[in-house]
């Protein structure tokens, strides 16, 4: 009972901060193109998803945000004739190409040092630990959810992937830089929206092939000229007649330091590896390394509702904020996407935490603290504090 | 007379003879006011015979290789369309369309390789790909052996091919284009060309069939129809992935959604009725007849989107850890093919 009351008070504080944002900062909300053909969805605080909603114009969207104050807001990448009907009756008209780079999928070495185990049974929060074994010190429960406070290295990792993706999109796929809209996801990663009509009609299977290309999955040794000899695991080199000048072939050729003027070096490399299969495994590993870590589900789903630009992310209280491609290196999501107010909120800490928001460093080791709303909401959203 | 009879046109009748499905050829037929009854004239006998021979060869699974002069090709093509239409056997229409497409594919790959005149190449690309399929294909000016297809035009087609070499990652890609040689370029469009010819057959309306054609159609029906009598295979053995799913179900254990979709689509594909398929799920711990029935009907295409779902490919099942391949699976790419070789 007491737990539920605290939960409600936490939600109320977060919701009040969100309300203020949607009321005062509505200019931050990016209304998508073709609004009347999009499906919208949202999560009311503490409840399940409401979707299959449509709006006629920007005014309706903004009014709904102020009225409902949702925890999360989504909009379809797809265009439909009837966006508010059930899925089978919507009549799909195409979908923007989208990508999701999530810091948690990058297996960065820094993650354990800022991931807090939250006991699934009693909600007790422990300090970060390198060990993957978990026992709750309060109730001895064995299951925990790990809450991460992304650090600068996490963001740099995501930026590196984002830059790789931009190179793939502009150089290989010929997409104009002006057609690429890049956003900080509002928590720990980046979202891409591509405004290029030629990609709109691709079905899920075609997008899946594109994901394979960008992720470096399925590259055959043959495509750089290493062919399997009939019988056995031997290989011979015969360069493809279209050469190695572009795309994946160039990426691999550069890494192996080969070109198609001589087969000697490549033949030697294959022998060194120990035959065709071993060389193929080497190619697989290089390609995975050179590819981009994107979430395949997001890109191949042509009926997805995706976080709407300019709205708040309830995992952090940060905004899904636009980042110009040219200023990606200097983009600081923990300042630029932190747009909640700074009225004071008294919170009770569940653990000792360190983080940086709006240029201000917080190092809280006390049991309770009075924090500006943006920082308090951040900790409440992460489940690392509760309203005092 | 051909569709284009001015001297300076890069494409001549000899070129059009290879591609009787082009819009310009249809226009030529329309303008010639050809009456179907003319097929009964004695000088048309060769053409009618040729058309029947062409169908027989194609139904046998071979490409008809001979190429005659323009007028003869056009009337032979027209006569063959009429015959296939009148036969009205779905499998024959599909086979005919596929092998007509492959015939044109051979000519086109050859033309794209051998023609050196840039204007002529340009016009051919325009007439075939742009006019028929609304796809712009460019010649690669740096290397005459290659053609440039936009990545999205490529993906829309290649993603339905199973071979690994058609995956985008195994292609030369630069600045939004995929570089393909002549054979690959035309191969990419085989299904569409075949569909175009299929549609031509379907769209044809023949008020009354000329006697000469009618006679040939009956001859063809006698020789070809027995092959297409409905054959039912009793599936005596399920593929290992389906067996595994049935065993899990049989034990009353929970089966992941993707495995249920595989099981249901497989059973529907081999001809089981909705009731029988629903019955299979009775043991599931969360069985709800109403929901299961709705879902099976959905997969069967009798509810919802009205699209019949196909059985997931072996590749997809492997990715979902639902594949339990045995030696007997060699050479198949979809569970429905399991055992077909053995039966033959």
Pairing of strands A321-323, A180-184: antiparallel
Q: How many CA atoms lie within 13 A of B268 on its CB side?
A: 24
Residues of B in contact with A246 (CB under 8 A): 172-174
Tokens 């031509």 sit on residue: B200
- Residue B209: phi, psi to the nearest 5? -85, 130
CB B64 within 8 A of CB B113: no
Where residue A325 falls among pLDDT bands split at 50, 70, 90? very high
B169 interfaces chain A, CB cutoff of 8 Å: yes
Q: Coil, strand, or helix at residue A39?
A: coil
Distance CA A170, CA A255 (A): 20
Q: Which of B155, B174, B177 has the CB atom closest to A206's CB atom?
A: B155
pLDDT score for A229: 84
Distance CA B136, CA A199 (A): 15
**Structural domain contains residue A278:** yes
Determine if residue A126 is left, alpha or beta; phi over 0 gives left, psi from -120 to 50 gives alpha, anything else beta: beta
Q: Which of A209, A240, A246 has the CB atom closest to B168's CB atom?
A: A209
DSSP state of A179: G
Question: Who contacts A384 (Cβ-Cβ below 8 Å, separation ≥6)?
Answer: A116, A118, A125, A147, A149, A349, A350, A351, A353
Question: Who contacts A3 (Cβ-Cβ below 8 Å, separation ≥6)?
Answer: A123
Q: How far apart are the first and last CA of chain B?
A: 50
pLDDT score for B85: 95
Where residue A184 falls among pLDDT bands split at 50, 70, 90? very high
Single out the residue of A213, A202, A321 nearest to residue B153, CA to CA.
A202
Q: Coil, strand, or helix at residue A141?
A: coil
**Structural domain contains residue A12:** no
pLDDT score for A88: 85
Cβ under 8 Å to A: B residues 121-150: 143, 145-146, 150
Distance CA B260, CA A152 (A): 44
Residue B290 to residues A113, A170, B248, B278, Cα–Cα distance (Å): 50, 50, 21, 9
Q: Is A209 a catalytic residue?
A: no
Across the range A207-213, mean pLDDT stands at 95
| Residue pairs spanning A and B at CB distance below 8 A | 89
Distance CA B35, CA B38 (A): 6
B319 interfaces chain A, CB cutoff of 8 Å: no
Interface ipTM above 0.85: yes
pLDDT score for B232: 43
A86 interfaces chain B, CB cutoff of 8 Å: no
- Tens digits of per-residue pLDDT, A242-285? 889 999 999 999 999 998 888 899 999 999 998 899 999 999 99
Domain termination residue (choose one: A290, A318, A345): A290
CB B58 within 8 A of CB B99: yes
Tokens 């605290």 sit on residue: A6
Structure tokens at B95: 């086979």
Q: Is A100 a catalytic residue?
A: yes
Single out the residue of B335, B336, B340 nearest to residue B324, CA to CA.
B335
Structural domain total, chain A: 2
Where residue A24 falls among pLDDT bands split at 50, 70, 90? very high
Distance CA B281, CA B259 (A): 12
Task: List beta partners, residue A364.
Answer: A353
Chain A interface test: which of B152, B313, B315 (most A C-beta within 10 Å): B152
- Sign for the CA dihedral angle at B175, B177, B178, B181 comes to negative
Q: Coil, strand, or helix at residue B101?
A: helix
**Structural domain contains residue A233:** yes
**Structural domain contains residue A374:** no
CB B303 within 8 A of CB B284: no
Q: Which domain, by its residues, includes A132?
A: 111-148
Single out the residue of A98, A101, A91, A103 nearest to residue A32, CA to CA.
A98
Distance CA A157, CA A75 (A): 27
CB contact under 8 A, A223 and B169: yes
Distance CA A377, CA A374 (A): 5
Q: Which of B152, B167, B174 has the CB atom closest to A199's CB atom?
A: B152
Across the range A129-139, mean pLDDT stands at 84
State chain A's mean pLDDT as an integer.
93
Is pLDDT larger for residue B338 or for residue A83? A83
3-state secondary structure B166-214: HCHHHCEEECCEEEEEHHHHHHHCHHHHHHHHHHHHHHCCCCCCCHHHH
User: Which mean pLDDT values do the consecutive 10-residue runs of chain B (344 residues) have?
Assistant: 58 88 90 90 94 94 91 94 92 91 94 90 91 93 92 94 91 96 94 93 89 94 75 66 86 81 92 88 79 90 78 86 85 86 49
**Structural domain contains residue A277:** yes
CB A300 within 8 A of CB A320: no
Lowest mean pLDDT of A62-66, A131-135, A223-227, B188-192, name the range: A131-135
Domain termination residue (choose one: A230, A256, A290): A290
B171 interfaces chain A, CB cutoff of 8 Å: yes
Residue spans of the domains in chain B: they are: 1-115+208-231, 240-343
Structure tokens at A238: 């015969």
Residue A12, pLDDT above cutoff 70:
yes
Distance CA A229, CA A277 (A): 11
Which strands form A180-184's sheet, in the order they lie side by side? A97-102, A189-194, A180-184, A321-323
Q: How far apart are the first and last CA of chain A?
A: 16
The enclosing H or E element of A102 equals: strand A97-102
Where residue A232 falls among pLDDT bands split at 50, 70, 90? confident
CB B59 within 8 A of CB B221: no
- Sign for the CA dihedral angle at B98, B133, B116, B176 comes to negative
Single out the residue of B182, B181, B191, B128 nearest to residue B156, CA to CA.
B191
Q: Is A196 a catalytic residue?
A: no
With b for 16 or more beta-carbon neighbours within 10 A and e for fewer, the B86-120 pattern comes to: bbebeebbbbbbbbbbbbbbebbbebbeebeeeeb
Single out the residue of B261, B263, B258, B296 nearest to residue B278, CA to CA.
B296
Residue A208 to residues A230, B26, B156, Cα–Cα distance (Å): 31, 38, 11
Residue A57 to residues A41, A77, A79, A93, B40, Cα–Cα distance (Å): 15, 17, 15, 19, 65
Single out the residue of A372, A368, A316, A312 nearest to residue A341, CA to CA.
A372
């Amino acid at each position: 009972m007491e737990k539920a009351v605290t939960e409600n008070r936490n939600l109320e504080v977060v919701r009040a901060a969100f309300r203020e944002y949607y009321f005062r900062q509505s200019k931050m909300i990016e209304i998508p193109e073709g609004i009347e053909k999009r499906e919208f969805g949202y999560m009311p605080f503490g409840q399940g998803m409401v979707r299959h909603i449509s709006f006629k114009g920007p005014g309706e969207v903004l009014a709904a945000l102020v009225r409902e104050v949702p925890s999360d807001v989504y909009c379809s990448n797809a265009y439909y004739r009837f966006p508010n009907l059930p899925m089978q009756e919507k009549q799909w008209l195409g979908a923007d190409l989208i990508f999701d780079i999530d810091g948690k999928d990058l297996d960065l070495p820094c993650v354990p040092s800022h991931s807090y185990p939250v006991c699934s049974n009693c909600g007790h929060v422990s300090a970060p630990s390198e060990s993957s074994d978990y026992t709750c010190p309060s109730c001895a429960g064995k299951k925990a959810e790990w809450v991460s406070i992304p650090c600068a290295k996490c963001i740099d990792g995501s930026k590196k992937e984002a830059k790789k993706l931009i190179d793939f999109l502009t150089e290989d796929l010929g997409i104009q830089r002006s057609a690429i809209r890049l956003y900080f996801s509002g928590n720990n990663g980046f979202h891409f929206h591509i405004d290029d009509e030629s990609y709109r009609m691709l079905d899920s299977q075609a997008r899946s092939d594109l994901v394979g290309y960008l992720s470096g999955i399925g590259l055959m040794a043959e495509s750089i000229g290493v062919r399997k000899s009939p019988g056995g695991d031997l290989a011979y080199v015969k360069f493809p007649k279209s050469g190695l000048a572009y795309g994946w072939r160039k990426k691999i050729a550069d890494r192996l330091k080969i070109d198609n003027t001589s087969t000697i070096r490549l033949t030697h490399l294959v022998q060194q590896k120990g035959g065709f299969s071993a060389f193929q495994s080497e190619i697989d590993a290089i390609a995975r390394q050179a590819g981009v870590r994107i979430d395949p589900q997001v890109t191949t789903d042509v009926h997805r509702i995706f976080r709407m630009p300019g709205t708040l992310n309830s995992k952090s209280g940060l905004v899904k904020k636009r980042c110009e491609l040219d200023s990606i290196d200097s983009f600081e999501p923990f300042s630029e996407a932190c747009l909640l107010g700074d009225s004071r909120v008294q919170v009770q800490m569940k653990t000792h935490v360190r983080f940086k928001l709006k240029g201000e460093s917080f190092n809280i080791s006390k049991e309770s603290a009075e924090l500006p709303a943006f920082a308090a909401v951040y900790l409440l959203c992460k489940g690392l504090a509760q309203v005092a | 007379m051909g569709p284009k009879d001015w001297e300076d046109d890069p494409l001549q009748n000899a070129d059009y003879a290879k591609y009787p499905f082009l819009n310009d050829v249809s226009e030529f037929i329309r303008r010639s006011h050809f009456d179907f009854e003319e097929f009964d004239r004695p000088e048309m006998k060769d053409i009618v015979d040729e058309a029947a021979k062409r169908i027989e060869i194609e139904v046998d699974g071979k490409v008809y290789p001979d190429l005659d002069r323009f007028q003869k090709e056009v009337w032979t093509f027209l006569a063959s369309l009429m015959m296939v239409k009148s036969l009205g056997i779905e499998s024959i229409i599909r086979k005919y369309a596929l092998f007509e497409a492959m015939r044109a594919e051979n000519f086109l790959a050859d033309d794209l390789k051998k023609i050196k005149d840039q204007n002529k190449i340009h016009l051919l690309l325009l007439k075939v790909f742009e006019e028929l399929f609304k796809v712009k294909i460019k010649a690669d000016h740096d290397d005459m052996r290659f053609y440039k297809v936009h990545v999205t035009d490529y993906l829309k087609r290649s993603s339905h091919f199973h071979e690994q070499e058609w995956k985008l990652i195994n292609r030369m890609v630069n600045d939004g284009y995929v570089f393909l040689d002549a054979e690959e370029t035309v191969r990419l469009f085989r299904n569409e060309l075949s569909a175009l010819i299929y549609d031509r057959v379907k769209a044809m309306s023949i008020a009354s069939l000329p006697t000469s054609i009618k006679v040939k159609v009956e001859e063809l029906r006698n020789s070809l129809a027995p092959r297409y009598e409905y054959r039912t295979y009793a599936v005596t053995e399920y593929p290992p992935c389906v067996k595994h799913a049935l065993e899990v179900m049989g034990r009353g254990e929970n089966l992941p959604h993707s495995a249920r979709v595989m099981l249901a689509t497989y059973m529907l594909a081999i001809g089981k009725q909705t009731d029988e398929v629903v019955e299979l799920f009775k043991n599931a711990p969360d069985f709800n007849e109403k929901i299961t029935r709705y879902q099976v009907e959905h997969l069967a295409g009798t509810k919802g989107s009205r699209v019949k779902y196909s059985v997931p490919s072996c590749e997809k099942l492997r990715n979902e850890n639902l594949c339990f391949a045995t030696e007997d699976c060699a050479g198949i790419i979809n569970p429905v093919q399991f055992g077909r070789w053995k039966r033959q």
